[in-house]
Amino acid sequence: MRGLVWLLPWLLVAEVRILTDFPNASAGQVTQVSPLHFRVGVKGQADQDGRNRQANWYFFRVSGVPKGAEILIDLVDLPGEYNYQPNRGAVTKDTRPYWKEGKKGGWQEARGDYDPAEPRWRLRFRPKKGEFLVAHIPPYTQANLRMLRKETQPVVEQIGRSVGGRPIELWTFDRSGGNKAAPVVWLMLRQHAWEAGTSWAGEGLLRKLGTGIVWKVLPWCDPDGVAEGGVRFNKFGYDLNRNWDAPNDAALRPEILAQKAAIEDWLKEGKKVDFFLTLHNTETGEYLEGPADSTLGQSLYSKLKEETLFDPDRPYLSRMAVERTGRANVIQWLWKTHQVPAFLMELRIAASPRRQARPTAESWREFGAQLAGQIAAALLAK
Report the interface residues with Zn ion, using CB under 5 A.
Answer: 192, 280
The residue (of 214 and 347) whose beta carbon lies closer to Zn ion is 347
- State the nearest-atom distance from the C-beta of 240 to Zn ion, in Å: 9
- State the nearest-atom distance from the C-beta of 239 to Zn ion, in Å: 9
- State the nearest-atom distance from the C-beta of 52 to Zn ion, in Å: 12
Closest CA to 373 of 279, 300, 275: 300
The residue (of 192 and 348) whose beta carbon lies closer to Zn ion is 192
Q: Which residues pair with 99 in a beta bridge?
A: 108, 134
**Which residues 6+ apart lie within 8 Å of 98 measured at CB?**
107, 108, 109, 110, 134, 135, 136, 137, 138
Give the Cα separation of 48 and 235 in Å (integer).
9
Q: How many other CB atoms are there within 10 angstroms of residue 9's CB atom?
A: 14
Helix (H) / strand (E) element for 263: namely: helix 254-268
For residue 184, the Cα-to-chain-centroid distance in whole angstroms is 24
Asked if residues 139 and 227 have their Cβ atoms less than 8 Å apart, the reply is no
The residue (of 192 and 365) whose beta carbon lies closer to Zn ion is 192
- State the nearest-atom distance from the C-beta of 189 to Zn ion, in Å: 10
The residue (of 192 and 216) whose beta carbon lies closer to Zn ion is 192
Characterize the bridge pairing of strands 71-76 and 120-125: antiparallel
Asked if residues 7 and 13 have their Cβ atoms less than 8 Å apart, the reply is no
Helix (H) / strand (E) element for 157: namely: strand 155-161
- State the nearest-atom distance from the C-beta of 234 to Zn ion, in Å: 13
The residue (of 112 and 225) whose beta carbon lies closer to Zn ion is 225
Give the Cα separation of 15 and 237 in Å (integer).
35
The residue (of 182 and 330) whose beta carbon lies closer to Zn ion is 330
Q: How many other CB atoms are there within 10 angstroms of residue 81's CB atom?
A: 17
Q: Is the dihedral of CA 372, 373, 377, 380 positive or negative?
A: positive
- State the nearest-atom distance from the C-beta of 223 to Zn ion, in Å: 16
Closest CA to 182 of 215, 153, 219, 217: 215
The residue (of 242 and 260) whose beta carbon lies closer to Zn ion is 242
Characterize the bridge pairing of strands 275-282 and 342-348: parallel
Give the Cα separation of 97 and 283 in Å (integer).
12
- State the nearest-atom distance from the C-beta of 195 to Zn ion, in Å: 5
- State the nearest-atom distance from the C-beta of 278 to Zn ion, in Å: 8
The residue (of 36 and 54) whose beta carbon lies closer to Zn ion is 54
